[in-house]
Amino acid sequence: MPTKRFFHQSFSTNVIIIFLLGLGLVKPDPDPLQDYCIANTKTRQPYSFNGLPCIDPELVLASHFSTPALSKPGNTRANPFGFNVTLTNIQNLPGINTQGLSMARVDIEANGLVPPHSHPRASEVTICLKGQIIVGFVTTSNHMYTQQLRSGESFVFPKGLIHFLYNMDQMKPALAISGLSSQNPGAQIVSLATFASTPGMPDEVLQRAFQITRPEVAKIRKNLGG
């Protein structure tokens, strides 16, 4: 009996240890193994993997760590929502490779909206630089936290949760800058993912999920370009 009890306790302890070790490995991006790894964006790679290989450290320049990508306003008329997101990436900022972060410029026209969306690989902190915006996110318990941001104020969106940004001013555009905890955070807009996917989600699924009719499904698909 003691041997059986010891085996059971030992097995339970090992399971707990393995579980805790697994939690320690769940990170948005792996830690870098060197000071930096400037992405080699010019050589085509025959296979895919996370990040890009590094260029020769002897070829590294200060300009690899700098970018003007966020200095100019984006085209907020390119979508029906009235917003534009300009994101740093390894193409416009090679020094970001393996650093586990990125930045985004968010331009929102008057009465514009960054619709409900999520970043599956990153949490996000947003600072309002110009105008007044309403931001918010919904937890997995369907509780919403929302806040009005004025110039200089910030807000955090937890990793993977659905969130939005809305420019409440009917006359003036707004500007925000976001920092994200992944080199490639990903973004999935809820309405486009459900109504404008390729191939399309079955109408019956959308009807029951949103409690709408088939003509309403067709109308929303058309409005979103699906």
Print the SS3 string covering 89-120: CCCCCHHHCCCCCEEEEEEECCCCEEEEEECC
Same domain for 165 and 130?
yes
Q: Quick check: 10 pLDDT over 70?
A: no
Same domain for 165 and 137?
yes
Percent of the chain with pLDDT over 70: 85
Q: How far apart are the first and last CA of the chain?
A: 65
Q: How confident is the model at residue 34 (pLDDT cuts 50, 70, 90)?
A: confident
Q: Quick check: 25 pLDDT over 80?
A: no
Number of compact structural domains in the chain:
2
Query: What is the pLDDT, as a whole number, of residue 23?
Result: 47
Same domain for 42 and 127?
yes
Task: Tell me what the mean pLDDT of segment 65-69 comes to.
Answer: 97
Answer yes or no: is 2 within a domain: no
Burial grade of 164 (CB within 10 A; 0-12, 13-18, 19 or more): buried
Tokens matching residue 32: 């870098």
Same domain for 91 and 117?
yes
Number of Cβ within 10 Å of residue 52's Cβ equals 19
Query: What is the pLDDT, as a whole number, of residue 91?
Result: 93
Same domain for 126 and 211?
no
Task: Tell me what the mean pLDDT of segment 117-121 comes to.
Answer: 96
Same domain for 191 and 144?
no
Q: Quick check: 104 pLDDT over 80?
A: yes
Q: Quick check: 22 pLDDT over 80?
A: no
Same domain for 170 and 212?
no
Q: Decide: 162 and 118 in contact? Cβ < 8 Å.
A: yes
Q: Quick check: 21 pLDDT over 70?
A: no
How far apart (Å, rounded) are the C-alpha atoms in residues 60 and 39? 10
Query: What is the pLDDT, as a whole number, of residue 100?
Result: 93
Same domain for 197 and 143?
no
Query: What is the pLDDT, as a whole number, of residue 6?
Result: 46
Task: Tell me what the mean pLDDT of segment 58-66 comes to.
Answer: 96
Q: How confident is the model at residue 26 (pLDDT cuts 50, 70, 90)?
A: very low
User: In which domain, by residue range, is 205 found?
Assistant: 187-226
Number of Cβ within 10 Å of residue 74's Cβ equals 16
Answer yes or no: is 73 within a domain: no
Q: Quick check: 38 pLDDT over 60?
A: yes
Same domain for 158 and 195?
no
